[in-house]
Amino acid sequence: MFGFVLVLCAAAAATALPVFEFPAPTGPFSIGTVNLHLVDEKREETQVLRPRQRRELMVQVWYPAEYSGRTRFYRAPSETSFRQTRLALVKTHTSSGVPLADALPRYPVLVFCPSWSGSRDQNTFQTEELASHGFVVVGIDHPYGSELTIFPDERRVATALGDWMDFSTDETIKAAVRTANAQLDIRTADARFVLDELERLNRHDPSGLFTDRLDTTCVGIFGHSFGGAVAMEACRVDSRFAAGIDMDGCVFGGSAELGVRQPFLFMSDDTPVPGTAKLATLSELQQRRWRFLSQDLSNIRHSLATYGGYYMTVRGTRHMNFSDSPLSTPLKQRTGAGPISVTRAMRIINDYTLAFFNQFLKKQPQPLLDGPSSEYPEVELEVWRPGDTLQVHKTS
């Protein structure tokens, strides 16, 4: 009986926590990847008390490859906790260190910014798809912010951050915004430094992989959750970022107040918004949360009304649908996924991301961004022109 119970438990665990598969990329290219350790000699690490320590980053680069090699696993065993050990068994569609594809002389570049305590590879479903269509994609680990950063000398740096926003009181909200703005400055500087390093590697990569192969005049940036705020702020302060996407993230810093001039796409889940009558029945904590989110949406609308851009809502999604997380278990309550099919949501996110960057980086017009799509009835797309009032151009 004891053995039978163990078998049942093992079967239940395998069902709830499977060794999952990523959706197959749809582009014509194989995918290569390398990890890079970058040190910013001009910047001190301000989040620890060690004098003269420079800011260090770990980044992962996905790129169009000439051919496939040995499949890389999602996480190395050293990068997983006991509860995450199965992630070391999950295969990606990426090969380590294979040559860059020769189909084009240079490839446009995209920088990916993870969530509040997320990791550089948290959107592998998306970075693989983009690389398969001819983009070089660079994901960033932000030490002391990302959940865990592991350097080549085996130093392990865990996040020093607490939970996301604290809506307990007006004062805790103000304190959380101060922390978020401080992180925004650090991560925006990280993104700009990564682009500096990509420009340097394009001039001369000691490994020979990226020398004269990166189109650093054609750069976009995108991020999930807080990473979306970083993408928006990076566009505001650095014109080298020609276009950006915020995937279901609140906005902070100067860009929240001033907006962003570059072509920008805001993706949103469709968490139901309470009306005035419903709002009055909620707890004070919930009311503070919704007031904060309402002000955030107002800031986004101000940017769209001033400079134009896109705002899309994907029906059936929740916040974590914009990451790899829902693949980890079919128990959607555990991952924060919405009722939409996980792979369907990923397909929608990938197709609109690809269309946006193809149009604004590769200068290839994309009908998907012009109006409603019979292929994607779940999507409500708002197209804003510069100078619009809050009379929104709905294309749903």
Alpha-carbon distance of 361 to 135, in angstroms, equals 10
Alpha-carbon distance of 119 to 227, in angstroms, equals 10
Asked if pLDDT for residue 4 goes beyond 50, the answer is no
Q: For 156, how many CA atoms within 13 A lie in the half-sphere containing its CB?
A: 7
Report the candidate in 269, 21, 264, 242 with the shortest Cα–Cα distance to residue 128: 21
For the stretch 40-71, pLDDT in tens is 999 999 998 777 799 999 999 999 999 988 89
Q: For 107, how many CA atoms within 13 A lie in the half-sphere containing its CB?
A: 27
pLDDT at 1 (0 to 100):
57
DSSP count for the chain of H helices, then E strands: 9, 14
Task: Work out the burial of residue 3: count CB atoms within 10 Å of its CB; fewer than 13 is exposed, 13-18 middle, 19 or more buried.
Answer: exposed
pLDDT at 334 (0 to 100):
86
Percent of the chain beyond pLDDT 70? 93
Whether residue 191 contacts residue 221, with contact meaning beta carbons closer than 8 Å, is answered with yes
Alpha-carbon distance of 119 to 54, in angstroms, equals 21
Instruction: Give the tokens for residue 125.
Output: 């479903």
Backbone angles phi, psi at 104, to 5 degrees: -125, 150
For the stretch 220-257, pLDDT in tens is 999 999 999 999 999 999 999 999 999 999 999 999 99
Asked if pLDDT for residue 349 goes beyond 50, the answer is yes
Q: What is the pTM of this model?
A: 0.92
2-395 has which fold?
A: Rossmann fold (3.40.50)
Whether residue 291 contacts residue 272, with contact meaning beta carbons closer than 8 Å, is answered with no
Instruction: Give the tokens for residue 277.
Output: 């009558």
pLDDT at 333 (0 to 100):
76
Q: What confidence tier does 6 reach under pLDDT thresholds 50, 70, 90? A: very low
Amino acid, single-letter form, for residue 233 = E
> Per-residue b/e over 68-85, b at no fewer than 16 CB within 10 Å?
eeeebebbeeebbeeeee
Provide mean pLDDT across the span 137-156: 96
pLDDT at 281 (0 to 100):
87
Provide mean pLDDT across the span 355-367: 97
Provide mean pLDDT across the span 97-107: 97
